[in-house]
Structure 1
Amino acid sequence: MPTAPEVATHVPLAEPAHPAVGAATGLLGAYTPGARFLGTPTRTLLAQGTHSEVPHDARPLPQRVAATLDAARAAGHGAPLVVGAVPFDQTAPAALAVPDTARTAPPLTADPLIALPADPPAAARWDIRPVPEPEVYGAGVAAAVERMWRGEFSKVVLARTLELTSTDPLDIPAMLQRLARRDPSGYTFALPTAPGRTLLGASPELLVSRRGNRVVANPLAGSTPRSDDLAEDVRRAAALLESAKDLHEHAVVVDAVHRALAPYCTGLTVPARPTLLRTATMWHLSTTVTGTLAAPETSALELACALHPTPAVCGTPTDTARQVIADTEPFDRGFFTGMVGWGDAAGDGEWVVTIRCAEAEERSLRLYAGAGVVAASEPAAETAETGAKFRTFLGAVGAEL
């Protein structure tokens, strides 16, 4: 009988103190489209209204955010936060704002009511269009692998999308409930990115957090789908821990995170081997990197911008991988594989990699999923992996491939 491998858990910034039953799920239930919701392993946040928006100009994003927070405080805002999303392309406009009000509660996992099941999806007819078609995606993977064997680059993350159109208006609060209750220990979000458009999802991956001088990053790379059969699920997890391909892919990402954070920290702790992190649909190789911040003025967002994009969402070398992505993917990633999160005027915050997500607008959804392609990759396996990753969101809306 196989034994269950060690499983990593998300590292909180602070332990909650005797949370009230219903506090976190109350904020989840109070979400309405246009508000900003974030559920993380450290807190549940519901932000409403817009006090001020972070402008898009030539200044680096952390400078613009700091100036917006300073201006909000000077205008009488008691405890300003910035909340929102940053796109994959950091030169594109972000969707970040200081809300009028922000209510917080302990994390969803600390609320016993999160165990209550969400209402099942209402019956709906979905028209599903893959972009690109799976065969085209597989051909893109094969072309990338061939170039890697020629030594042009070592890794690229290639994504595909599903465009879903419903006969009925979308019920975004109900989708959020199902995402949050299915994976309450992860990072659940629903954020406006344009008038009438919402970015929502349930990401397993912390890019970086900062509380005081403590820095935490949790890179994920290397994954395999879960199984409903317990013995097979354990076998897949154990095989992932021994997979030379996935361990190499993971090591490349961890090394990149280490090198990006080192200039900002007086010391970093990087475990020698990854552990496993599980979601409802996937097993992931996971490493929790911790450090001590060298300069107190360095914000969580500044650290996040220094890390983004990691090889887990782009590839290696970064510039070459970006070009391969642009040449191969027949769509604009937008906020997919960017980052979502919050930051305060003291520089504390949490920024999460924007995966397992979709953009919702009226009756349509665009779902995104990507896979890390290395020289040992097989097109059919990477296509299947992206299909498994779509399951997080398909289950939330009652659709099937």
Structure 2
Amino acid sequence: MTTVHQTLTTEESGADVVGTATALLDAYRPATDRFFASPTRTLLARGVRAPVPHDARPLTERVQDALTAARASGQPDPVVIGAIPFDQSAPAALAVPEQLHRAPALGRDPLIALPAPQPADTAWEMRPVPAPEQYEAAVATAVGRIKAGELGKVVLARALDLTGDREPDVPGMLQRLARRDARGYTFAIPTNAGRTLLGASPELLVSRSGSALVANPLAGSTPRSGDLAEDVRRAAALLESPKDLHEHALVVNAIRATLAPYCTDLVVPERPTLVKTAAMWHLSTTLTGTLPAQSVSALELACALHPTPAVCGEPTARARNVIGELEPFDRGLYSGVVGWGDADGDGEWVVTIRCAEADRSGLRLFAGAGVVASSDPVAETAETSAKFRTFLDAVGAQL
């Protein structure tokens, strides 16, 4: 692992060296490693120095105790890395690693442009949960309840179970996800019972660097097109869509209300812009703020924000009740939070979407759509199908 240790030195010096970030991607090993890449850095964590336990204390307190214990045991700059579930009261998959290797962002490494290995020829069997027609019925039910005034928005998700004739190639999937959207957020986190959470999220929940805060909610989406003219038309239509602008405004307003009390100033653009991934266009707003000195940590901010209306709905409590009634599965870590935080309070926490959980028998993919009064059940089902594309492409499968 000489190369990996060289990347640690390189990242700390601020220099870019060809191959430093992709070396960490290549070095990833399932089950024992945690991988996280963002537009600012690439992290490869190995082993566990201090696990974050599950008990009655607040999660932020448990994380801080684990970081303090790691520093007391000889780690000068401990970091916690992992995932928090949709239901914050459920067990998290967080740990302070034994070793942490760092590099610049994957998007700054020229070698990320090299093609990823092609997926093995696998005979995938797919089972949607629920079936598309049942999902459409659930969306129609939610629309009726929204029109009746019960709530303003709810995000309904569905899953897609894949089983094949071979064990999923987790490192290969991670390579393809990272190289497809190198400027997004790519992650692979071991969870429990031999499972791995991996994905490529486009959405930053919140980051903190010193006193600087950034949040980048996404809400309102449309599938990309392979035809350039049609792709541009779809992007322009999304920017003017009353339904999507309303859905987006609900999320931005909720995040503004949550973050404002923590900030000495908070800048919120008046209109959203567009962010694209390989599969989707999204409405995007970047909020920037300044925190008082020695203020809240990135993880505390993430826990205060989560779940936002982008993955749950509005008002939150009612949306969660509707999700519990209409979704036929436990979300687990899907639509939770994944990322890292250090003992000084800095960190990056992103929304756990465009993801799957893998084990030796197969994969469970997740996708959701925001439902408001003007939602069309057929269109929302098509949107979730388009969101599945991120992962289906990574495994060489098609709906």
TM-score w.r.t. length of structure 1: 0.95
Moved more, 318-327 or 290-299: 290-299
Q: Which amino acid counterpart does residue 177 of structure 2 have in structure 1?
A: L
Counterparts of 1:135 and 1:57 in 2: how far apart (Å)? 40
Q: CA deviation at 1:60?
A: 1.0
Q: CA deviation at 1:380?
A: 0.2
Question: What does residue 144 of structure 1 align with?
Answer: 142
Q: Which amino acid counterpart does residue 70 of structure 2 have in structure 1?
A: A
Question: What does residue 283 of structure 2 align with?
Answer: 285
Question: What does residue 184 of structure 1 align with?
Answer: 182
Counterparts of 2:19 and 2:96 in 1: how far apart (Å)? 26
Q: CA deviation at 1:56?
A: 0.9
Q: CA deviation at 1:75?
A: 1.3
Which SS does the other structure have where 2:190 is aligned? strand
On the 8 A contact 1:15/1:42 being kept in 2, the answer is no
Work out which of the residue numbers 23, 28, 44 in structure 1 matches 2:25.
28
Q: How does 1:152-171 map to 2 (within 5 A)?
A: 152-171=150-169
Moved more, 270-279 or 51-60: 51-60
Work out which of the residue numbers 214, 221, 224 in structure 2 matches 1:223.
221
On the 8 A contact 1:39/1:107 being kept in 2, the answer is yes
On the 8 A contact 1:175/1:396 being kept in 2, the answer is yes
CA offsets per residue over residues 53-106 of structure 1, 9 Å max, x none? 001111111111011101111111222110000000000000000000000000
Identity %: 69
Q: Which amino acid counterpart does residue 316 of structure 1 have in structure 2?
A: E
Q: Which amino acid counterpart does residue 22 of structure 2 have in structure 1?
A: T
Question: What does residue 102 of structure 2 align with?
Answer: 104
Q: Which amino acid counterpart does residue 239 of structure 1 have in structure 2?
A: A
Which SS does the other structure have where 1:194 is aligned? coil
Moved more, 276-285 or 57-66: 57-66
Counterparts of 1:16 and 1:318 in 2: how far apart (Å)? 43
Which SS does the other structure have where 2:221 is aligned? strand
1:307 aligns with 2:287: no
1:325 aligns with 2:323: yes
Question: What does residue 213 of structure 1 align with?
Answer: 211
Counterparts of 2:12 and 2:70 in 1: how far apart (Å)? 29
Work out which of the residue numbers 233, 236, 239 in structure 2 matches 1:238.
236
Question: What does residue 196 of structure 1 align with?
Answer: 194
Counterparts of 2:133 and 2:323 in 1: how far apart (Å)? 17
Are residues 293 and 108 of structure 1, via their aligned partners in 2, closer, same or farther at CA, if it must alter by over 3 Å? same
Unaligned runs of 5+ in 2: 1-10
CA offsets per residue over residues 170-196 of structure 1, 9 Å max, x none? 110000000000000000000001131
Counterparts of 2:386 and 2:203 in 1: how far apart (Å)? 17
Counterparts of 1:147 and 1:248 in 2: how far apart (Å)? 17
On the 8 A contact 1:16/1:106 being kept in 2, the answer is no
Which SS does the other structure have where 1:113 is aligned? helix
Question: What does residue 114 of structure 1 align with?
Answer: 112
CA offsets per residue over residues 243-279 of structure 1, 9 Å max, x none? 0110011011001010110111100000000000000
Which SS does the other structure have where 2:264 is aligned? strand
On the 8 A contact 1:264/1:295 being kept in 2, the answer is no
Q: Which amino acid counterpart does residue 17 of structure 2 have in structure 1?
A: A
Q: CA deviation at 1:295?
A: 4.6
Counterparts of 1:15 and 1:285 in 2: how far apart (Å)? 34
Q: How does 1:33-112 map to 2 (within 5 A)?
A: 33-34=30-31, 35-112=33-110
Q: CA deviation at 1:166?
A: 1.0
CA offsets per residue over residues 261-312 of structure 1, 9 Å max, x none? 0111100000000000000000000000000012524110000000000000
Unaligned runs of 5+ in 1: 1-13
Q: CA RMSD in A?
A: 1.2
CA offsets per residue over residues 88-137 of structure 1, 9 Å max, x none? 00000000000000000000010000001111111011110000000000
Counterparts of 2:236 and 2:70 in 1: how far apart (Å)? 50
Which SS does the other structure have where 1:323 is aligned? helix
Counterparts of 2:265 and 2:217 in 1: how far apart (Å)? 18
Question: What does residue 356 of structure 2 align with?
Answer: 358
Runs of 4 or more, structure 1, over 2 Å off, are 14-18
Counterparts of 2:192 and 2:35 in 1: how far apart (Å)? 15
Question: What does residue 400 of structure 1 align with?
Answer: 398
Q: How many pairs does the alignment contain? A: 388
Work out which of the residue numbers 378, 381, 387 in structure 2 matches 1:380.
378
Q: CA deviation at 1:16?
A: 8.9
Counterparts of 1:387 and 1:16 in 2: how far apart (Å)? 43
Counterparts of 1:150 and 1:109 in 2: how far apart (Å)? 46
On the 8 A contact 1:343/1:350 being kept in 2, the answer is yes
